[in-house]
Structure 1
Amino acid sequence: MTIQTGPVSVDAMIEDLRTLVKVESPSRDVEALTASAKAVAGVIENRLGGQAVLIEIEAGPHVHWSAGGTPKVLILGHHDTVFPLGTLERRPFRVADGHVTGPGVFDMLGGLVQAIHGLAGLDDHSGIEILVTSDEENGSRSSRALIEERALACGAVLVCEGSADGGALKTGRKGTGGFEVTIKGVASHAGLEPEAGVNALIEAAHQVLDIAALGRPDIGTTVTPTVASAGTADNVVPAQATILVDVRVGTADEKERIEAAFAALTPHLEGAKISVRGGIGRPPMPESASAELFAMAKQLLPDLSSEAVGGGSDGNFTAALGVPTLDGLGAVGGGAHADHEYLVIDAMAERANLVAGLVRALQKR
């Protein structure tokens, strides 16, 4: 059975999306995120009724809406974006050539709007919850416990992150994390007595090679040094260096191996000292967690495809708990975190109705 186009209005979705995008919401900006949370709550209440509660936390408010009744399904998303204030002036909201463009339209405000409008077309909202967090782009440190609590209570999670290439749903995700490696050396005059120092930059060079060698791309583990800094002046042996590292893993075993390897890093130069912060905060999302829900989605849209991706989302947390989780249900488009970010207008109604169809099926369980 294929999904039928429901009563959703694409024009109305675009206008609600315009409302959300025009309230810029960079992560860590509590004032901006407070305004954004209020805008999200307003769209939810306008389309679904009831009250959307702002959960005030240090990072900025999360938004939670519940229709009441026995919890059946959690619609999960976030309203923070990676773009600094002022991006909207340089890259305004635009509707042209079949696309919507602007900061956050694909990641992930478009997906939120589509889900809300899809739910609005249902006669029965019982058992539905919506949670829209404010810190996903920064690792979800303040929201993880709440996400996990509501996921366990509801028993199924639909994540409205943007789709994979070509509109594919995301049925697996790597675990993601980052490390900061700090090297302490000893400063000295680079011309008069370089031998009296311990060169933190040279030690950092050794460590970059050791760290990069930890990767196992053949099994999905990538370990990528991304940022390095050292030194204070061109005639001073640097006393400190810092390396930032992005890590992606496909399995829990690899998470343990990588974290142990970073903890065991040792200096090559006598007198150098190493300290490590960080870890793999998002566990891998196994494809088994999405199998049941993807099968349901295929009954609604037989041409749907799926993909396992390297990026993480809050679906990683819920899937790791064993809660059935389906990701990538949001906007069809691309360019997440980039200036060319876009949403495909022609896919909006179908995606809204897909979410509605999955919710309807989950309500009957």
Structure 2
Amino acid sequence: MTLHRSSAPQVDAMLDDLRRLVEIESPSRDLVALRASAEAVAAVIEGRLGGRAVLMESEAGPHVHWSGGGEPRVLVLGHHDTVFPLGTLARRPFLVEHGRATGPGVFDMLGGLVQAVHGLAALEDTCGVEILVTADEEVGSGASRALIEERARACGAVLVFEGAGEGGALKTGRKGCGTFELSVRGRAAHAGLEPEEGVNALVEAAHQVLDLAALSRPEVGTTVTPTMASAGTTDNVVPAEATVTVDVRVESAEEKERIESAFARLRPHLDGAELVVRGAVSRPPMPESASAELFGLARRLLPDLTGTAVGGGSDGNFTAALGIPTLDGLGAVGGGAHADHEYLLVDAMVPRARLVTGLVEAIRAGAGRALPSEGGLR
């Protein structure tokens, strides 16, 4: 593998780009903020790689797409939306101290985007490489899934730059995940004078919560977790409506089908109650078999790398479910995703960028021919 040494990753330049992205807040669904964020991502890509990064409009905000030209061979996949509301930056500004960079989105996943771009800048050429940075990953990728799948099919290999697992592990498997909403309709009545005339939606919801929780099969990786509930209007009225939100995680397609069928078969316990179910396991499981080949390449480049299967989902779930080789967790090494203590380890940025360079070279050359025979990356 030959690196373009004049463009070899430099930590100060990477931190400059990271600051630029972090200081433009990008909460999901905020279309104005997401446009500013997409423009900043495009400017970083163009400044480091040349060419033109195209903003692709969607109802969820602009996605960013860039191509290095030639026949597509590898898709670099990420997202620029974050979970933090506007104003978080004022309370938690971008800082670099004690070997850590902190600020909203540094780990999930702006640090990974920066590492990917700087790793690609170290290539002699970027022929066959595409970058897709979406605007709605944190809210389910409804407006980007079709585009992600289209570009993944075209490229044939996918590198996902979500934050690394514990200790810097790559993410070799992910559970499928989804959210269901159960709406209960009952009938209101005076809670003191004639409660028997009502149909208590809260009591019905309580029955359903117990039924749903019983669907969990942790021994095969399936969790069904009621996470939010609301009911009632005031303290002396039998509640006529209730809503329950349920988080679902599964490791296999069979469990996905079982859970979705179970939700479809839900029936009321109380006479007169009605149920409406919405949702699905929208991100299919990412089996470890989908990452095996690419993880093997990564281990030959950095022999100390480890892999882990995790419960959280990403856009890599979609590409892996198509049978396309997909390796995830290539982004920042750090922790605290979605939390106030979110951070990345500065010392890991350059090695991870070099890993990008090596992986892309290996994929484009047909795997083994581009890999160093021993000793890994230097």
What is the TM-score when the length of structure 2 is the normalising length? 0.95
Q: Are 1:159 and 1:329, in contact at CA under 8 Å, matched by a contact in 2?
A: yes
- Give the Cα–Cα distance (whole angstroms) in 1 for the partners of residues 8 and 57 of structure 2: 34
Q: What amino acid does structure 1 have at the position aligned with 2:337?
A: A
Q: Secondary structure at the match of 2:256?
A: helix
- Give the Cα–Cα distance (whole angstroms) in 2 for the partners of residues 42 and 343 of structure 1: 22
Q: What amino acid does structure 2 have at the position aligned with 1:35?
A: A
| Aligned residue number for residue 196 of structure 1 | 197
Q: What amino acid does structure 2 have at the position aligned with 1:245?
A: V
Displacement of 1:109: 0.2
Q: Are 2:4 and 2:122, in contact at CA under 8 Å, matched by a contact in 1?
A: no
Q: Which portions of structure 1, spanning 4 or more consecutive aligned residues, are displaced by more than 2 angstroms?
A: 3-6
Displacement of 1:124: 1.3
Decide whether aligned partners of structure 1 residues 232 and 338 sit closer, same or farther in structure 2, where only a CA change above 3 A counts: same
- 2:90 matches 1:104: no
| Aligned residue number for residue 255 of structure 1 | 256
- Give the Cα–Cα distance (whole angstroms) in 2 for the partners of residues 47 and 363 of structure 1: 20
Q: Are 1:252 and 1:284, in contact at CA under 8 Å, matched by a contact in 2?
A: yes
Deviations 1:41-81 (A, max 9, x none): 00000000000000011110000000110001000000000
The answer for unaligned runs of 5 or more in structure 2 is 367-378
Displacement of 1:84: 0.4
Displacement of 1:319: 0.3
Question: What is the 5 A alignment of 1:333-344?
Answer: 333-344=334-345
Q: Are 2:256 and 2:281, in contact at CA under 8 Å, matched by a contact in 1?
A: yes
- 2:314 matches 1:285: no
- Give the Cα–Cα distance (whole angstroms) in 2 for the partners of residues 324 and 158 of structure 1: 9
Question: What is the 5 A alignment of 1:297-312?
Answer: 297-312=298-313
Deviations 1:258-289 (A, max 9, x none): 00000111111111111100001000000000
- Give the Cα–Cα distance (whole angstroms) in 2 for the partners of residues 41 and 98 of structure 1: 27
Displacement of 1:4: 12
- Give the Cα–Cα distance (whole angstroms) in 1 for the partners of residues 58 and 135 of structure 2: 9
- For the aligned residues, what is the CA RMSD? 1.2
Q: Are 1:4 and 1:353, in contact at CA under 8 Å, matched by a contact in 2?
A: no
Q: What amino acid does structure 1 have at the position aligned with 2:222?
A: T
| Aligned residue number for residue 150 of structure 1 | 151
Deviations 1:175-194 (A, max 9, x none): 01010000000000000000
Deviations 1:225-261 (A, max 9, x none): 0000000000000000000000000000000000000
| Aligned residue number for residue 218 of structure 1 | 219
How many residue pairs get matched?
A: 364
Q: Secondary structure at the match of 2:271?
A: coil
| Aligned residue number for residue 122 of structure 1 | 123
Q: Secondary structure at the match of 2:183?
A: strand
- Give the Cα–Cα distance (whole angstroms) in 2 for the partners of residues 47 and 153 of structure 1: 24
Q: Secondary structure at the match of 1:242?
A: strand
- 2:329 matches 1:328: yes
What is the TM-score when the length of structure 1 is the normalising length? 0.98
- Give the Cα–Cα distance (whole angstroms) in 1 for the partners of residues 122 and 345 of structure 2: 21
Q: What amino acid does structure 2 have at the position aligned with 1:249?
A: V
- Give the Cα–Cα distance (whole angstroms) in 1 for the partners of residues 18 and 308 of structure 2: 26
Displacement of 1:100: 0.2
Q: Are 2:174 and 2:317, in contact at CA under 8 Å, matched by a contact in 1?
A: yes
Question: What is the 5 A alignment of 1:1-365?
Answer: 7-365=8-366
Q: What amino acid does structure 2 have at the position aligned with 1:253?
A: E
Q: Secondary structure at the match of 1:340?
A: coil
